[in-house]
Amino acid sequence: MTSALLQVSDLKMHFPLRGGVLFRPVATVRAVDGVNLTVEAGQTLGLVGESGCGKTTVGRCVVRLYRPTAGRVRVDGQDLAVVRGGRLKQIRRDLQMIFQDPFESLNARHTVGEILREPFRIHRIGGPGQQAAAVERLLERVGLDPGAQNRFPHEFSGGQRQRIGIARAVALNPRLIVCDEPVSALDVSIQSQILNLLLDLQREMGLAYLFITHDLAVVKHVSDRIAVMYLGKIVETADADRLYQAPLHPYTVALISAIPVPDPARRKGRPLLGGDVPSPIDPPAGCRFHPRCPLAVDRCRREEPVLQAMDGAEPDHRVACHRAGQMRLPPDG
Amino acid sequence: MRFRLNPLTVQKIRRFRSIRRGYWSFWIFCLLILFSLAAELLVNDRAILVHYEGRFYWPTYGDPLPGRTFGLDYDYETDYRHLRRHLAAGRGAGWVLMPPVPYGPYSTDLRTDAFPPFAPSWSERHYLGTDTVGRDVLARLVYGFRIAIFFSLGLLAANYAIGVSIGCAMGYFGGRFDLFFQRVIEIWANMPFLYVVIIVSSIVVPSFALLIAIMAFFGWIGITWTMRTVTYKERTRDYVLAAQVLGASHGRIILRHILPNTVAVIVTYAPFSVASGIVALTSLDYLGFGLPPPTPSWGELLQQGWAYMSAWWIVAAVVGAMVVTLVTVTFIGEAVREAFDPKRYTVYE
Question: Which one-letter DSSP state was computed for residue B77?
Answer: B
Residue range A239-250, pLDDT digits in tens: 998 888 888 999
Give the Cα separation of B106 and B133 in Å (integer). 10
8 Å CB contact between B327 and B24: no
Collapsing DSSP states into helix, strand and coil, what is residue A11? Answer: strand
| Cβ within 8 Å, pair B245-A101 | no
pLDDT score at B1:
42
> Which residues does residue A225 pair with via DSSP β-bridges, in sequence order?
A45, A239
For chain A, the domains span 252-333
Residue range A93-150, pLDDT digits in tens: 999 999 999 889 999 889 999 999 999 999 999 899 999 999 999 999 999 998 889 8
| Cβ within 8 Å, pair B238-A113 | no
Collapsing DSSP states into helix, strand and coil, what is residue A279? Answer: coil
pLDDT score at A269:
63
Q: Please state, in angstroms and as integers, the Cα–Cα distance from residue A211 to each residue in A227, A251, B344, following that order.
A: 10, 19, 35
Structural domain including B51 reads 45-98
Contacts of A111 in chain B (CB under 8 A): 1, 4
| One domain, residues B30 and B60 | no
- B 149-208: CB under 8 A from A: 179
| One domain, residues B204 and B299 | yes
The whole-chain average pLDDT of chain A stands at 88
Q: Does residue B217 fall inside a structural domain?
A: yes
Helix axes B208-235, B193-203, angle to 10 degrees: 150
pLDDT score at B332:
94
Q: How confident is the model at residue A333 (pLDDT cuts 50, 70, 90)?
A: very low
> Which residues does residue A239 pair with via DSSP β-bridges, in sequence order?
A225
Question: Which one-letter DSSP state was computed for residue B65?
Answer: P
Q: Does residue B123 fall inside a structural domain?
A: no
CB–CB contacts below 8 A, A to B: 79
| One domain, residues B194 and B77 | no
Residue of A88, A93, A104 lying closest to B239 (CB–CB): A104
| One domain, residues B151 and B94 | no
pLDDT score at A98:
95
Long-range residue pairs from B50-53, CB within 8 A, at least 24 positions apart, any chain: B50/B80, B50/B83, B50/B94, B50/B95, B50/B96, B50/B97, B51/B94, B51/B95, B51/B96, B52/B87, B52/B92, B52/B93, B52/B94, B53/B92, B53/B93, B53/B94
8 Å CB contact between A316 and A329: no
User: Rounded to a whole number, what is the distance in Å from the CA of B81 to chain A's nearest CA?
Assistant: 58
pLDDT score at B240:
95
- Sign of the alpha-carbon dihedral angle for B90, B91, B96, B98: negative
**Burial class (CB within 10 angstroms; exposed 0-12, middle 13-18, buried 19+) of B293:** exposed
Collapsing DSSP states into helix, strand and coil, what is residue A95? Answer: strand
| One domain, residues B25 and B170 | yes
Buried (b) or exposed (e) across B3-20, using 16+ Cβ within 10 A?
A: eeeeeeeeebeebbeebe
Give the Cα separation of A135 and B207 in Å (integer). 55
Report the C-alpha dihedral over residues A68, A69, A75, A78, rounded to 10 degrees.
130
Residue of B238, B249, B256 lying closest to A105 (CB–CB): B238
Q: Among all residues of chain B, which has the CA nearest to that of A89?
A: B247
| One domain, residues B49 and B180 | no
pLDDT score at A266:
63
Alpha carbon B242 to chain centroid distance?
Answer: 42
pLDDT score at B34:
94
Q: Does residue B191 fall inside a structural domain?
A: yes
pLDDT along chain B (349 residues), means of 10: 69 89 94 92 90 88 86 86 86 86 86 82 85 89 94 95 94 90 91 85 87 89 92 92 93 93 88 92 89 89 90 92 94 90 57
8 Å CB contact between B220 and B163: yes
Q: Looking at the complex, does the CB of residue B8 fall below 8 Å from at least one CB of chain A?
A: yes
pLDDT score at B204:
87
Q: Does residue B236 fall inside a structural domain?
A: yes
| Cβ within 8 Å, pair B245-A95 | yes
pLDDT score at A143:
93
Q: Does residue B83 fall inside a structural domain?
A: yes
pLDDT score at A1:
46
| Residues A186, A188, A192: CA angle, nearest 5 degrees | 95
User: Rounded to a whole number, what is the distance in Å from the CA of B259 to chain A's nearest CA?
Assistant: 11
Q: CB atoms < 10 A from the CB of B342, how many?
A: 9
For residue B341, give the nearest of B52, B104, B15, B65 by alpha carbon.
B15
Using left for φ > 0, alpha for ψ between -120 and 50, and beta otherwise, residue A103 falls in alpha
8 Å CB contact between B137 and B192: no
Q: Please state, in angstroms and as integers, the Cα–Cα distance from residue B344 to each residue in B337, B339, B341, following that order.
A: 11, 9, 6
A120 sits in which H/E element:
helix A112-122
Q: How confident is the model at residue A309 (pLDDT cuts 50, 70, 90)?
A: confident
| One domain, residues B71 and B210 | no
Interface pTM, i.e. ipTM: 0.89
Q: Looking at the complex, does the CB of residue B10 fall below 8 Å from at least one CB of chain A?
A: no
- Greatest alpha-carbon pair distance for chain B in Å reads 84
Interface test with B, best of A109, A110, A111, A161 (most B CBs within 10 A): A109
Q: Looking at the complex, does the CB of residue A165 fall below 8 Å from at least one CB of chain B?
A: yes
Least confident of A5-9, A323-327, B158-162, B343-347: B343-347
Give the Cα separation of B220 and B12 in Å (integer). 27
Q: What is the DSSP string of B92-130?
A: SSEEEE--SB---SS-B---SS--SPPPPBTTTTBTT-B
pLDDT score at B3:
59
| One domain, residues B143 and B68 | no
Q: Does residue B335 fall inside a structural domain?
A: yes
Q: What is the DSSP string of B190-258?
A: TS-HHHHHHHHHHHS---HHHHHHHHHHHHHHHHHHHHHHHHHHHHTSHHHHHHHHHT--HHHIIIIII
Q: Does residue B133 fall inside a structural domain?
A: no
> Which residues does residue B121 pair with via DSSP β-bridges, in sequence order?
B126
Give the Cα separation of A1 and A78 in Å (integer). 12
| One domain, residues B77 and B19 | no
8 Å CB contact between B70 and B78: yes
| One domain, residues B76 and B21 | no
Domain count, chain B: 2
8 Å CB contact between B149 and B278: yes
User: Rounded to a whole number, what is the distance in Å from the CA of A206 to chain B's nearest CA?
Assistant: 19
Q: CB atoms < 10 A from the CB of A84, how many?
A: 10
Q: Does residue B267 fall inside a structural domain?
A: yes
Q: How confident is the model at residue A331 (pLDDT cuts 50, 70, 90)?
A: low
| One domain, residues B216 and B233 | yes
| One domain, residues B33 and B53 | no
| Cβ within 8 Å, pair B242-A168 | yes
